Amino acid sequence: MPLTDAPPALPDSRTAGLLRDLSAGLRQQMYFWGRDVVHPVGNLLVHAGLSRSPSPGLQGTSCYTRPWQKGSIQLHGACAGWYGEQGGVVFIRPLGHCVGWRMSTPPTPGEWSREHFESLSPDSLRHRIQPFLEWWIAYEETLLSLRPLHSTHPSSSLLGAGYRDRCFRAFRQLPRSRSWLPPRDALPWLRHFRDRTPGLPRAKRFSAGIAGSFPRPFA
């Protein structure tokens, strides 16, 4: 859905709940991206077209950036977001939620200048995050289809759907981790959130197996 579209609005309380679910999913997803960086077949973020550069804020860490929908995607272990000419949106892991970002340039990891935060209604924030969602979904779909150049590659069994399942199990085993949806449900939930499917349940009540009972997404 293009960012300029005017999607139908849900009540703020309903949208706010779905945004909290999305933030919980991002906490889990950031762990997954960390695993992707050190995958045995190579850095999967770089393979997906992101450029790696040293972080300007936290020494010894890296940022991953790529152009996307008249702006840019940037990932870091402490934050992730999309930044366009008229501002963007960023998930800040220490805060645990997404916020509007007034600037066209990403925040410096570790330095969250609140003067650059933009107060948005839940529906406006949901609209603002659409480009990031589009990239996230496209990345996961690409990851599911990845195969080594040679089927005899020793890590050939470490790609595809089974790889994300292993990431999920590893995350659940971390002390004090709060796992979100398993991969088989996470990607369908994200697609429905992106498409604003009427009746989309909160993540804790969602299962991909019930998705067929939802009404058709808004056009």
Cα 36 to its chain centre, rounded Å, is: 14
> What residues contact 183, with CB distance under 8 A and at least 6 apart?
161, 164, 165, 167, 168
Domain spans, the chain:
21-147+154-207
What does the block give as tokens for 63?
Answer: 């940022």
pTM of the model: 0.86
What is the full per-residue pLDDT of the chain (219 aa) written as tens digits? Answer: 444 444 455 568 899 999 999 999 999 999 999 999 999 989 999 999 999 999 887 778 899 999 999 999 999 999 999 999 999 999 999 999 999 999 999 998 888 888 999 999 999 999 999 999 999 999 999 998 876 544 455 554 567 888 999 999 999 999 988 999 999 999 999 999 999 998 999 999 998 766 555 554 433
Distance CA 44, CA 58 (A): 22
Q: What's the Cα-to-Cα distance from 92 to each of 15, 45, 119, 132, rounded to whole Å?
A: 19, 19, 15, 14
Give the alpha-carbon dihedral of 128, 64, 23, 194, to 10 degrees: 50
